[in-house]
Amino acid sequence: MNNNLRNDIPASIVVVFVAIPLCLGIALASGAPLFSGLIAGVVGGLVVGSISRSPLGVSGPAAGLAVIVLGAIQSLGSFDTFLLAVVLAGVFQIIMGIARAGTLGYFFPSSVIKGMLAGIGIIIVLKQIPHAFGYDKDPEGELSFVQPTGETTLSSLWRMLDNVEPAAVLITVIAMAMLILWDRVLSKKSVVFRILPGPLAAVIFGILYQVTTSAYAPSWALSPSHLVSVPVANSFEELSGLITMPAWSEITNSAVWVTAITIAVVASIETLLCVAATDKLDPQKRVTPTNRELLAQGVGNMASGLIGGLPVTQVIVRSSANIQSGGRTKISAILHGAWLLLFVALVPSVLNLVPLAVLASILFTVGYKLARPALFKQMWSLGASQFVPFIVTILGIALTDLLTGIGVGLAVAIFVILRRNYQNSHFLHIHDSTMPDERHLIRMRLSEEVTFLNKGAIVKELDAVPHGSIVEIDTSAAVVLDHDVLEVIEDFRDIASRRDIEVRMIHEQSDVPVPMRNRVRATNGDSAGAIDGGSEDPQLTASRNS
């Protein structure tokens, strides 16, 4: 067995135990049949994993789509009609991949991506605390602040105190102790403990606990409501009966097409965000081809919809669990789909012995590593331009839902970028003149690329120039000057004489004043001189071409 398989196989088993309750919980939160979540999990592993070139990303049903799915099923009137929309969404994603829309994934600010990771980590921990104490009303995998039950993430913590299950607390404490001991001590002592991941050992402990207490101490055994609940089929016919087919007769229904486009866009955005986050977590810092990823997700959604599954995306919870469990290649994601299919088809009764408290302890470690304190310290040290979008994204995810939180974080990040661009459009230095007339000499040096985004800052500074000053506008470093900026400077020159202001245009490094008409080329391809009827300086043209 090569080194990659030695790591990928145990990691895939850990991921499948994390994925099963998430698949079921997301299906429940979406108002869909429970089995549809498991189908999506299998497709995410086997189909998407095989086509994708993401080395560590794991796909499956996504919490971010739960609200959309719930509303779509209700508005379309039936689950089979909704499945048709999922198939069409897959077609749209394939088209997006071919059209190279995946390149949009490279433009998400790093501060927002890191905020997404930390925000998901925090919400995972908050959501799992009730499960650790045996209060299991909120479905696993549900990440919104306002829960399907009408409670919120914070109110569930309060309600939990009146519904504590001692056996669940005991299992959580023991499982957490095992995970910490495995990670910090045992894995460093022997290769056996590195091959068998701590999370898998914790799951085995949970199953043995339930079997033993059910037989010898029933009062300490957990009731079925505190365990994983996979639909059990006693025959192949029953298993096939759990599969729903799309309602092809609704192909002309315009609402189906609107739903399909909505799912395609939202699923693609969530996938691209998760790809960016997973690549950041990858110890080898590999880069996922995003256009190929959209293509893989599109094929996956077509396959999932055709056999009765929920929409799939790449999912950060499963992907980070894969990374933290030692996964090395995409074989881990594919194997997780294979294990899920085998377990659900052959041994669902074994899966139904896994306590949710054990899974809570595993997800605690996943959440902690995503929102580790060192990340907050690092982002703080980078300054407000990085920390503010980072913390806003976290708060947005924790207090609303995943996509809304990311949207708010992106809006803040864009505002910070525009503000910085506004501030950095030029350098302004004012000299006390030693000239006999005691006039101020103000020199404004424009940066390498000045666009319409800098227009406001330049207008503000020119308007603040005192009467009777000398203004030197230095464009010697400028390569691109937006036409809007040239117009601002021209307008200032037109009114300068009324304010007794002398304007000098400087382009050459020698500080020799150059007339405005002999300046750099505007961004629309016309020379600056075209504004006032002049022509471009031949020396400037030769200098640029060299």
In the chain, where the domains are located: 3-413, 426-545
Task: Name the token pair of 350.
Answer: 């074994």
Q: Side chain identity at 362, as an amino acid letter?
A: I
Mean pLDDT of the 51-73 span: 93
User: In the predicted model, what is the mean pLDDT of the chain?
Assistant: 87
Whole-number Å distance between alpha carbons of 54 and 332: 11
State the residue for tokens 């135990």: 17
**Listed ranges 131-145, 435-449, 478-492; the one with the highest mean pLDDT:** 131-145
Q: Which CATH class is domain 426-545?
A: alpha beta
Give residue-wise pLDDT tens across range 302-343.
Answer: 999 999 999 999 999 999 999 999 999 999 999 999 999 999
Alpha helices in 289-352 (DSSP H): 290-306, 316-324, 331-346, 348-351
Is pLDDT of 544 > 50? no
Give residue-wise pLDDT tens across range 371-424.
Answer: 999 999 999 999 998 999 999 999 999 999 888 999 999 999 988 877 776 666
- Does this model's pTM top 0.85? no
Q: What are phi and psi of 2, to 5 degrees?
A: -75, 170
Q: Name which residue leads in pLDDT, 161 or 452.
A: 161
User: 372 pairs with which residues across the strands?
Assistant: none
pLDDT at 511: 41
Give residue-wise pLDDT tens across range 419-456.
Answer: 776 666 555 555 555 556 677 788 888 877 777 777 77
Task: Name the token pair of 363.
Answer: 């997800």
Is-contact 268 96, C-beta < 8 A? Answer: yes
